[in-house]
Structures are given as C-alpha cells and as structure tokens.
C-alpha cells in the first residue's frame, strides 16, 4: 500500500523579509512591522491576509499512514529554523514517495512551501519530477492540479470551484470529528509573539488528524473503503492517540466520544 502523508503548515508574517522589502529599520518591532503591512493589505484587498511568499513557516505537521501504523508528529524541533523544516518535509517525500493529502494544500500550503523553499535553496527532486526522471510521474505527479499524487480534499470536493470551498472545521464537526479546539490560523501570529510555538505545533497536529479522518470518510464515499475498513481506520487513529500523554490529544479524544457511522 502506498503510504499516505497528510500535511499542514502554520505560518507567521516574514518580518525580516518585510523589513527588507519596505526598507524598515531593525529598531521597528516585529509587531509594528506586521501591523503596518496588515494595514496596507486591508486597504488594498479588504483583508490582512499576506501574499504567499511573505509567510514564514513555523510549523509543519504530518500524519503518516503506512502499513499497519498511524503516526502524527511535527517536523523538527522548537529550535529548528524555517529552512530545516521545509527541507525535512521534502526529504520525507523523497523517502516515501507518498500519496499527499491536504486541505487547501494546493491553494496555500504548497505555494508557500514552494516560495519559501526557493528562498532557502531547499531541494526535492522527487516532488518536482513531472516525468523527467520517473516516466510514471508524467501522468501522475505532485504538481498538476488534476493529478492524484497530491489530493487537495477541499479543492476536489468543491469540484475545483472556489465559491464552493468548505472549512475543514465545519466538515470535520458535521461528520462527527472534533474539529478545531481553541485555536485557528488567525490566532497563530498572536500565539507566536507570546512564545507559544509548542501550542502552535499541537494545533497543527490536530488539523492533520482532522484531515486524515475526513480523507478516510472520502475513501468510504468513493468506494475505496468498506464500512468495516472505515471504522477500523477511525479506531486505529483513536487507539494511536490514546497512547499519548500529550494534553492536546487528551482534549481531542474527549471531544470525540463516538465514531459516527
């Protein structure tokens, strides 16, 4: 069975890059730099959401389903810089050649990783292969939107129509999974400024578990899983998380008392 790798990233404004682009002095605080650019974006677009290349990656979390095992973790350590995190992610693709699964990965996560990887000189030949090295990748690669080697669940379920996109949190909760617990992407910058990188990584991990569970539900819908197999997948996730003493998994399991058929 091809390994399935679900991934999610968390980002903050690239304040060092913003200083470079706008000629800002180092004495201007990170918070003031970010707020200045947020205001500029709000005036231009009505939203303070920055362009993809101006996001700095602070967490990448993964859920790996391989063989009989299910594993969830965040790449690297709290001390690792952005370059190391991104290189680890692409090294994993080189190692496993997995089925990638994401929620809006094609619209946000992967473009951010592309730009930031380019800035840092990260390498990943397997990920960028479109048939030059492996002929099979000509017809099914990670880059092409309508290929399945990377499955962006949000994009596919919306039939590639942006106005039909649905939030992961909503879908997870409607199916019967816990969804988000106390944090969302809009709170990451504030949490980071408060030194809560560990909490950000925990939040990112719960998002990849939500995504994997929705993916399992999708596999049931498309006939790849029987009802029995789907229930086994849910129990595998539950049993794996129950072995952890981490508080975010205890909270997650408490919010997921039963498996909805």
Cα gap 69→90, rounded to integer Å: 21
235 within domain boundaries: yes
261 within domain boundaries: no
Can you tell me the mean pLDDT for 65-87? 97
259 within domain boundaries: no
Contact of 11 with 56, CB cutoff 8 Å? yes
Structure tokens at 7: 């991934």
Can you tell me the mean pLDDT for 16-25? 96
Is the pLDDT at 260 greater than 80, yes or no? Answer: no
Can you tell me the mean pLDDT for 16-27? 95
For 53, residues 6+ apart whose C-beta sits below 8 A from its C-beta are: 112, 115, 116, 119
| Mean per-residue pLDDT of the chain | 95
Confidence of residue 255 (pLDDT cuts 50, 70, 90): very high
- What pLDDT score was predicted for residue 185? 83
Instruction: List the one residue out of 216, 189, 184, 217 whose CA is nearest residue 203.
Output: 184
260 within domain boundaries: no
- Mind listing the pLDDT tens digit for each residue in 94-133? 999 999 999 999 999 999 999 999 999 999 999 999 999 9
Contact of 52 with 13, CB cutoff 8 Å? no
> Residue 57 is part of which domain span?
4-254
Instruction: List the one residue out of 168, 162, 255 whose CA is nearest residue 217.
Output: 168
112 within domain boundaries: yes
What SS3 class is residue 209? Answer: helix
Q: Which residues partner with 10 through β-bridges?
A: 59
- Mind listing the pLDDT tens digit for each residue in 167-225? 999 999 999 999 999 888 889 999 999 999 999 999 999 999 999 999 999 999 999 99
Structural domains counted in the chain: 1
Q: What is the pTM of this model?
A: 0.95
Contact of 12 with 82, CB cutoff 8 Å? no
113 within domain boundaries: yes
CATH number at residue 88: 3.30.420.10
Is the pLDDT at 35 greater than 60, yes or no? Answer: yes
Cα gap 175→224, rounded to integer Å: 18
164 within domain boundaries: yes
DSSP H helical segments within 47-193, as ranges? Answer: 82-96, 110-120, 125-128, 153-157, 168-175, 188-193
Can you tell me the mean pLDDT for 146-163? 96
């Amino acid at each position: 069975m091809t390994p399935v790798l679900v991934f999610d990233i968390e980002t903050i404004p690239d304040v060092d890059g913003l200083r470079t682009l706008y000629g800002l002095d180092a004495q201007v605080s990170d918070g003031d730099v970010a707020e200045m650019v947020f205001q500029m974006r709000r005036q231009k677009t009505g939203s303070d959401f920055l362009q993809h290349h101006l996001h700095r990656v602070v967490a990448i979390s993964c859920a790996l389903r391989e063989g009989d095992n299910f594993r969830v973790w965040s790449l690297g350590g709290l001390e690792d810089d952005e370059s190391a995190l991104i290189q680890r992610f692409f090294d994993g693709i080189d190692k496993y050649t997995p089925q990638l699964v994401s929620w809006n990965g094609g619209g946000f996560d992967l473009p951010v990783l592309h730009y930031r990887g380019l800035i840092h000189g990260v390498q990943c030949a397997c990920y960028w292969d479109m048939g030059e090295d492996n002929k099979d990748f000509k017809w099914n690669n990670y880059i092409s939107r309508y290929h399945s080697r990377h499955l962006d669940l949000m994009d596919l379920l919306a039939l590639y129509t942006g106005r039909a996109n649905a939030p992961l949190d909503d879908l997870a909760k409607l199916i019967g999974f816990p969804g988000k617990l106390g944090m969302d992407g809009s709170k990451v910058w504030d949490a980071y400024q408060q030194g809560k990188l560990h909490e950000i990584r925990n939040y990112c991990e719960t998002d990849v578990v939500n995504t994997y569970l929705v993916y399992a539900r999708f596999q049931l819908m498309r006939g790849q899983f029987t009802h029995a197999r789907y229930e086994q997948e849910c129990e595998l996730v539950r049993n794996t998380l129950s072995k952890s003493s981490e508080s975010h998994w205890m909270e997650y399991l408490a919010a997921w008392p039963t498996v909805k058929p």
